[in-house]
Structures are given as C-alpha cells and as structure tokens.
Amino acid sequence: MYGGQEDWIDAVCQLGTFIDGRGTLPAATGKGMCRAKSGMDYISIGQYDSDYKMRNDLVLTRENYYASAIESDGTVMVLAVRGAPVELQPLTQFGFTINSVQKLR
C-alpha cells in the first residue's frame, strides 16, 4: 500500500465533498463519505481492525464494489461505491484491490 489517506481520498473524491464521521459503514472504527470525482455516486470510506468485520459490514450495505488494502499497522482501509467500479480504479495505483461486494442470499 502506498501513499496515505489524504492521497487515497484525493484520488477518488471531489474536492469539498468529504464529510468525516459519516457514511454507510456502521461498524467501521473510522468513517467518512464523499462524492465521486465523476459526480455520479457517493463513496463510503471506512477503517476496520479486521478484514472479516469489513466484509461483514459491506454485506449489510447497498454498496456493490469496494477497494481495500491493509495499512502497515494492520488497519483495513476500504472505499465502497454503489455504482460502477471505475469510480474506485484510481486507488489501484496505491496498491488497493477492487472487488464485488458479496450479498446475502
């Protein structure tokens, strides 16, 4: 994983739209949200102390795609979007992987 939170948020969020402490990820230890640079969707941002907790939280949301990576201290960072995965594509340059959210059956 490369860069820091400001780099990641700047890569996918419209300037002036980030709101700290908000979002659709209820179990995140830290969270925020912003409008995607395309202006077509919102991105939920969260931090977790485990990958399982992150995936469990995402299943309960309306998000369809997420980009995740593990920080050097073990914190799992996730940015999720309801619309197209292209909104998260800039994060791959920092070492994030993009996945589909597994939904409840």
Q: Are 57 and 31 in contact (CB under 8 A)?
A: no
How far is it, in rounded angstroms, from Cα 2 to Cα 31? Answer: 20
pLDDT tens per residue, range 2-41? 888 999 999 999 999 999 998 889 999 999 999 999 888 9
Identify the pLDDT of residue 39: 80
pLDDT tens per residue, range 34-82? 999 988 899 999 999 999 999 999 999 999 999 999 999 999 999 999 9
How far is it, in rounded angstroms, from Cα 66 to Cα 73? Answer: 20
pLDDT higher for 103 or 16?
Answer: 16
How far is it, in rounded angstroms, from Cα 18 to Cα 32? Answer: 7
Rounded to the nearest angstrom, the gap between the alpha carbon of residue 31 and the centroid of all alpha carbons in its chain is: 9
> Where do we find the tokens 């409840």?
104
How far is it, in rounded angstroms, from Cα 48 to Cα 86? Answer: 23
The reported pTM is 0.92
